[in-house]
Structure 1
Amino acid sequence: MERLGRRTALIISIFPGLIGWICIAHSESHLALLIGRSFTGLSTGLSLAPGVVIIGESAEPRLRGILVGAPSISFSLGILMIYTLNSALPWQTVSLLATVLPLVALVSLFFLPESPLWLERVGRTEEAQKAMTWLRGGSEHQARHELLLLKQQKIQNVLFEEAHPTARKSSPLLSRPVLRALIVINVFNIFLVLGGTYTIIFYAVNVLQQSSGDSISAFEIAVGTAIARVLLTTLACFLLLHVGRRPLTISSGLGSSVAALGVSAWLYWSPKLGGYEWVPTALVLAFVVFNSYGFFTIQALMLGEMLPARARGPSSGLTCALINAVIFFTSKTYPWMSRVFQPHGLFLMFGTMSLAATLVVYLFMPETKGRTLAEIEEFFSGPSLLWRNYLLNGRRESATDF
């Protein structure tokens, strides 16, 4: 996406997904299933970064939260759709139906403009102006203003590189703002994944049946958690229009941590307490609720807002690769961890890691609501990586900054 553009990268990413689902639908062996899954996995890996980046670079600052958060709704809605369809139709038919949305996306992308920021950065200024004007509903004044801010940021970067020759020779990934943003985002993501966000998605049935003593059916668990996630990610996107990223994420992390630690404590002492089998189930669902409206949504926002423009392509790709590697590790080791640490030990880890992720947000995550991408990059170029120090140094403050 750095060489060909964000939109072109998205178009390319759709084809492996279509091949994968068709292969799965017609598979008659484990090998064919694995080949199909390899193609769908390739499509997912290719599409995640450019999808979030093109939204973040194209959206107005005031609407960026709801638009960049929308993929979280799509993810949750996709899980719910597959669970529901699979309960009524053969899996081969469901696999074929899964090709419909990628085909719609493929057609839609040919009618959408390329990222104006990317066009401007590669010197296609006239195309960037046209794309930004189209995205701003025909407002040429607003389009020129936003592109001017981008040009000013580019000039600052050039002046910095001229003053620091070693920075010019090194990779953009090693520049101060890019490296700082990468560290904050990826440390948070590692804690987030270890905090059970994706483990609950993949193993919701196992987790809830372990905690409730098999008193609830697998279908009820799957559909119930999927519906909750759809509703909460949708609510989160609308909240982002009015509430800052920091308060939403911090409250999500604290709630997730308390719920997970509550499950751990209950499972540890439950043999002595007896009864009240609904308590751990309620606590796990509370974990899903708190996790969905903040932690699960903020990942996409970080990629779309916090990575500096000069290296947004490679840095977002690197971040997505790391996220998927950690998700792969946790999903494959879950059965082993559940056996070795026992369910109460596993939820103790979830609670602790959620608390650690919250601390990272409180200390280092900038408030990006209403700020331009150039203003966000300014924070990572500053003398201190602590958000409170940035505010104390006389930067613009608002009710969402804390």
Structure 2
Amino acid sequence: MPKITPYMKQCFVTTAIGFNIIGHGAASGFPAILLPQLHKPDSGFKLTRSQDSWLASTVGLTLLLGSFSAASVMGTKGRKAAHYTISVLGIVGWVITILATSFWLLIVGRIILGISFVMMIPLRSALIGEYTSPKSRGAFLATVSLAQGFGIFFVHLIGSLISWQRTALVCLFLPFISLVMTLFSPESPSWLASQGRYEESREAFRWLRGDQEEDELEKMISARIAFQESRQGRKITMFGTIKKKEFYKPIILMFHAYSLSQSCGLVTMAAFSTIIIKNVMGDVNADMWMVIFDTERILTNTLAVFIIHKFKRRTMMFSAGGLSLASHIGVIFYIYLRNNNSLPVTGIWLPALLLALQFFAMSVGVTPMPSVMAGEVFPLQYRSLAGSISLVSLSSTMFLILKTFTGLIDSVGIEGTYAVYSFSIVYCLLVMWFLMPETKGRTLQEIEDGFRGKPIVTRELIEKKSLKDDETELETKNLT
């Protein structure tokens, strides 16, 4: 029987997380196949334009209202307990959706799926970052975007072939598989260390990583011991925590990284892809093009796993962000020239190329990079809280974009809508240029120390340094 390597174990635990992420991707893309079917004469539903937008944006609103729900479970009960909760909520949400016979039951199902989604966002990156080795961490974290993109493609594909109820039934199995696989996964070594359970932490760490990365393990435990010692006899205040560079800098960075991904089309292309395709490409088979672009998303997300493993984080983020901005500006100029009958060339290839470029930029860097960053930049002590705070940006931007999209299209057209998103992209890229560190190949403790500006040391090391300084001073006096 072949030996199960640490890398294979890291693949297993990442796959367990991935099934839930696929389910949440399916939940994000579900409105694109749900709404057209509900508007059919024989559907039994009569929805208004406002109800359409609520079905699409409810997940975003739930993210906004439940941004801090994951922090308490992750921090106090552990990563596995949080993952169990997320899986069960996902199962319940899909069951209610399957059985829904009214608009309000659909909303309830969407809300529960949204709660599961919001709890998963800080957990998925934190857990993969804590489970995996620094040399392959970027590639593993990039699978978050791949799994979510596959979920969108999956639900769009099967939803175009079968009814929305049967589609929801198929999606029900995704969180169930994740729940079963989580039973065989260990608790996070980082969380165990944060609870002072150092021997259990060592056991879980060695199960995941083998015995080749002992230095990272001991540095993590030493940093935790030093943190506990630094708190002894000191009053810890909320203001004191907020003032720490390693707390507020990653939060501000992730605020803008999440906003960037939403502005580049992550949610609009999932929920309103057919509307965008018809507005940009004209009278075409929008369902067919939706599946084509979703296929491109999957292929590019897969490519991103390997590219992120090779290239630096800043290079990936700003190259993809610049390319996304270029595609948005290209769409704006194309629509403007088309409306004024000034196009130098005609044909479906040009708008298709512009949308393909947007999907490429979004899938290769803008979407996966925030997940990679979220698994690397938050300090261990505040990982649950800081991750949840940064979700305010993701959830508020998602809700705002989904709720206002149809209104923007009706008032300023697709070109005006893309212009609004372009300004947001420029702003986010400028802020991130000054805040984003290079994290490729660095341990989580090294990244945390980089934000802090200096490493945290134990009292024993301080005493040794003081003793060494005293000895040096005594030798100097003797020589004098």
Please report the TM-score for the alignment, with normalisation by the length of structure 1: 0.88
1:27 to 87, 92, 100: 100
Partner of 1:176: 245
Q: Return the alpha-carbon distance in structure 2 between the equivalents of residues 239 and 191 of structure 1.
A: 20
Q: How far is 1:190 from its partner? A: 2.3
Q: Return the alpha-carbon distance in structure 2 between the equivalents of residues 7 and 174 of structure 1.
A: 31
The one-character-per-residue Cα deviations of 1:8-29 (angstroms, maximum 9, x if unpaired) are: 1011111111111111112222
For the pair 1:272 / 2:341, whether they are aligned, the reply is yes
Q: Return the alpha-carbon distance in structure 1 between the equivalents of residues 235 and 312 of structure 2.
A: 37
Q: Return the alpha-carbon distance in structure 2 between the equivalents of residues 168 and 158 of structure 1.
A: 15
For the pair 1:218 / 2:289, whether they are aligned, the reply is no
Q: Return the alpha-carbon distance in structure 2 between the equivalents of residues 156 and 368 of structure 1.
A: 23
2:452 to 358, 377, 381: 381
For the pair 1:149 / 2:222, whether they are aligned, the reply is no
Q: 1:171 to 1:218 in 2, by over 3 A?
A: farther
Native 8 Å contact 1:14 1:47 kept in 2: no
For the pair 1:95 / 2:179, whether they are aligned, the reply is no
% same residue:
26
Native 8 Å contact 1:149 1:374 kept in 2: yes
Q: 1:150 to 1:334 in 2, by over 3 A?
A: same
Q: How far is 1:217 from its partner? A: 1.2
Q: How far is 1:161 from its partner? A: 5.8
Native 8 Å contact 2:256 2:432 kept in 1: no
Q: How far is 1:333 from its partner? A: 0.3
1:237 to 287, 293, 305: 305
Native 8 Å contact 2:252 2:390 kept in 1: no
Native 8 Å contact 1:70 1:237 kept in 2: yes
2:278 to 200, 209, 223: 209
Opposite residue 147 of structure 1, the aligned amino acid is: L
The one-character-per-residue Cα deviations of 1:254-289 (angstroms, maximum 9, x if unpaired) are: 111111111111211222314524222321221111
Q: How far is 1:47 from its partner? A: 1.8
Q: 1:166 to 1:340 in 2, by over 3 A?
A: farther
Q: How far is 1:340 from its partner? A: 2.4
Native 8 Å contact 1:246 1:361 kept in 2: no
Opposite residue 337 of structure 2, the aligned amino acid is: W
Q: How far is 1:339 from its partner? A: 2.3
For the pair 1:16 / 2:89, whether they are aligned, the reply is yes
Query: What does 1:347-362 correspond to in 2, within 5 Å?
Result: 347-362=418-433
Query: What does 1:249-288 correspond to in 2, within 5 Å?
Result: 249-270=317-338, 271-274=340-343, 276-278=346-348, 279-288=350-359
Q: Return the alpha-carbon distance in structure 1 between the equivalents of residues 261 and 424 of structure 2.
A: 7
Q: How far is 1:166 from its partner? A: 6.8
Native 8 Å contact 2:249 2:435 kept in 1: no
The one-character-per-residue Cα deviations of 1:346-395 (angstroms, maximum 9, x if unpaired) are: 22233332233333333221111100001111221129xxxxxxxxxxxx
Native 8 Å contact 2:334 2:351 kept in 1: yes
Native 8 Å contact 1:213 1:277 kept in 2: no
The one-character-per-residue Cα deviations of 1:67-121 (angstroms, maximum 9, x if unpaired) are: 1111211111111111111122222111111111211110100111111011011
Partner of 1:127: 200
Native 8 Å contact 2:138 2:372 kept in 1: yes
Q: 1:6 to 1:174 in 2, by over 3 A?
A: farther
Native 8 Å contact 1:305 1:368 kept in 2: yes
Q: Return the alpha-carbon distance in structure 2 between the equivalents of residues 21 and 47 of structure 1.
A: 16
Q: Which of 1 and 2 has greater Rg? A: 2
Partner of 1:295: 366
Q: Secondary structure of the equivalent of 2:75? A: coil
Q: How far is 1:156 from its partner? A: 5.4
Q: Secondary structure of the equivalent of 2:100? A: coil
Q: 1:221 to 1:325 in 2, by over 3 A?
A: same
Q: How far is 1:39 from its partner? A: 1.4
* Contiguous gaps of at least 5 residues in structure 1: 384-402
Q: Return the alpha-carbon distance in structure 2 between the equivalents of residues 365 and 10 of structure 1.
A: 29
Q: 1:15 to 1:66 in 2, by over 3 A?
A: same
Q: Secondary structure of the equivalent of 1:353? A: helix
The one-character-per-residue Cα deviations of 1:29-49 (angstroms, maximum 9, x if unpaired) are: 222222222211111112221
Native 8 Å contact 1:249 1:361 kept in 2: no
Partner of 1:188: 257
1:71 to 135, 141, 144: 144
Q: 1:351 to 1:81 in 2, by over 3 A?
A: same
Q: 1:114 to 1:327 in 2, by over 3 A?
A: same
Native 8 Å contact 2:90 2:112 kept in 1: yes
Opposite residue 153 of structure 1, the aligned amino acid is: A
Q: How far is 1:159 from its partner? A: 7.1
2:132 to 51, 56, 59: 59
Native 8 Å contact 1:173 1:311 kept in 2: no
Opposite residue 361 of structure 1, the aligned amino acid is: M
Partner of 1:397: none
Partner of 1:199: 268
Partner of 2:473: none
Q: Return the alpha-carbon distance in structure 2 between the equivalents of residues 120 and 170 of structure 1.
A: 25
Opposite residue 217 of structure 1, the aligned amino acid is: N
1:304 to 375, 386, 390: 375
Q: 1:326 to 1:171 in 2, by over 3 A?
A: farther
